[in-house]
Amino acid sequence: MDSKNSEREEKSSILSWITTIVGAVILYFIITGFILNTTVVIGESMQPTLQQNNRLISLKFPLYYSNPEQGDIIILDSPEEENKEYIKRVVGVPGDTIEIKDGSVYVNGQIYSEDYIEENTPTLIYNENSWTLGADEYFVMGDNRLPGKSLDSRYFGPINKDTIRGIANFRYWPISEFGSIGGLND
């Protein structure tokens, strides 16, 4: 009888481990599929705000009930390469008119204050200098405005909302910069 009880306990223990592992895997996919994701900064396009190898947490769930706002830092699918993501800042939201002239950005005819870019760095244009955004379109740019440092809406045009994967809210690496990165509205 003792061997049968021992066998049952062993089977129960194995089943418990399997259930725990399957539950953890399901929870992981729910969290990364619908709630949040982690991102590693690669490149210089968001300097000085974000640096190479910074690690961020981006929230997905706010996109289910609201839209990104001007100033938010977002993760988006690259319009240039499959299976690649970009990190950019939202400068224009649906209905806005964006114009770049004399090295400055204008949103709806008003100069756009950008205290996060390097002082005295002009915003250059690649092709066009004016865009009017449609119902689900956003204008995004990197914070690094030095020539050739950010591939953004100045180059590939406005992006559609359905290409936005999350809003970056939190930096967890390096530890010395641990905390909220937020947007202009925070």
> Which residues carry out catalysis?
45, 88
What is the Cα–Cα distance from 101 to 66, expressed in whole angstroms? 31
The per-residue DSSP string of 90-120 comes to: EEE-TT-EEEEETTEEEETTEEPP-TTSPTT
What is the Cα–Cα distance from 27 to 23, expressed in whole angstroms? 6
Tokens encoding 134: 């449609």
